[in-house]
Amino acid sequence: MHYLVITTGSCGNCYIFSTGRDSIIIDDGVTYKKITEKMAEHEIPLDTVRALFLTHLHPDHSKGVGVLQRKLGIPVYVSNISAERNESIMVKQKIEKTLIRTYDFGDTVTLPGFSIYPFPTSHDSDGSAGYVFCAEGINFFLMTDTGIIPEEAWELARSARVKFIESNYDEEMLENGMYPQFLKNRISGRYGHLSNRDAIEFAKETSRLGDSLYFVHLSANNNIPDIVRNLARKEIPSGIFCKVCERGEMFEGFHDGKEE
């Protein structure tokens, strides 16, 4: 398995997973130019893309969807709740309704090369989702934009060998920062984002030696990558690979698909 974090953070989020023959994209908050350039650079052919999955419809996760849909004609998966309650956003972002596919939480979506299990997250965007998927015998886990860790996520993360976990803010920086109180409350609230402390604790509790952890969606104003790195170094055993994905940067990874 070959995967790319095209970019992550409030500036845009986009992930690509490829077996070589089949690929999926999760979130598209970047331009078509950027996505296609990075895919070409890393030798993931565009015609391997089977579908796009959205965690939710905030623009940093969905602003590229309309163009990508029109260029590639691929299906875009969202939860049925998300499709029902975000119609005006879809219209605004010129997302083509005929290419929208919906799932119910609890369902598994099966595509060539991938089987994908969406689970609900807790965010101020109706029907938001995280994903666990299996490709080449390995489980991958992705959870961003969630104010609390959903109960179900613990077991799902334990089953996965590669994990992408939101580590949005440092509690002290948020508390002492410049944001107005309502925004601080939104970010740290039940429907906001995950703190570094919660992310590291979750990662530590659900990982075992040999796993790979990517900390993503770091806040530009309420976090510093070194804080996350230091926390990870302190809390997470050295046999677990940890990468803090700096805002706006690209990261590439491989997994040979063999379960130890």
Three state DSSP letters for the chain: CEEEEEECCCCCCEEEEECCCCEEEEEECCCHHHHHHHHHHCCCCHHHEEEEECCCCCHHHHCCHHHHHHHHCCCEEEEHHHHHHCHHHHHHCCCCHHHEEEECECECEEECCEEEEEEECCCCCCCCEEEEEEECCEEEEEECCCCCCCHHHHHHHHCCCEEEEECCECHHHHHHCCCCHHHHHHHHCCCCCCEHHHHHHHHHHHCCCCCEEEEECCCCCCCCHHHHHHHHHHHCCCCCEEEECCCCCCEEEECCCCCC
Residue 211 near Zn ion by CB under 5 A: no
* CB closer to Zn ion, 27 vs 170: 27
* CB closer to Zn ion, 18 vs 202: 202
Indicate the residue whose CB is closest to Zn ion. Answer: 58
- Please, what is the minimum distance in Å from the beta carbon of residue 145 to Zn ion? 4
- Please, what is the minimum distance in Å from the beta carbon of residue 8 to Zn ion? 9
- Please, what is the minimum distance in Å from the beta carbon of residue 219 to Zn ion? 10
Stretch that binds Zn ion, among 59-67, 80-88, 112-120, 241-249 (CB under 5 A): 59-67
- Please, what is the minimum distance in Å from the beta carbon of residue 137 to Zn ion? 30
For Zn ion, which residue of 60, 170, 198, 211 counts as binding (CB under 5 A)? 60
Residue 58 near Zn ion by CB under 5 A: yes
- Rg value, the chain, Cα: 17
* CB closer to Zn ion, 60 vs 198: 60
Stretch that binds Zn ion, among 36-44, 92-100, 144-152, 238-246 (CB under 5 A): 144-152
- Please, what is the minimum distance in Å from the beta carbon of residue 20 to Zn ion? 29
For residues 42 and 170, give the distance between their C-alpha atoms in angstroms, rounded to a whole number.
33
Residue 166 near Zn ion by CB under 5 A: no
Stretch that binds Zn ion, among 51-59, 202-210, 223-231, 240-248 (CB under 5 A): 51-59
* CB closer to Zn ion, 15 vs 161: 15
Residues that bind Zn ion (CB under 5 A): 58, 60, 145
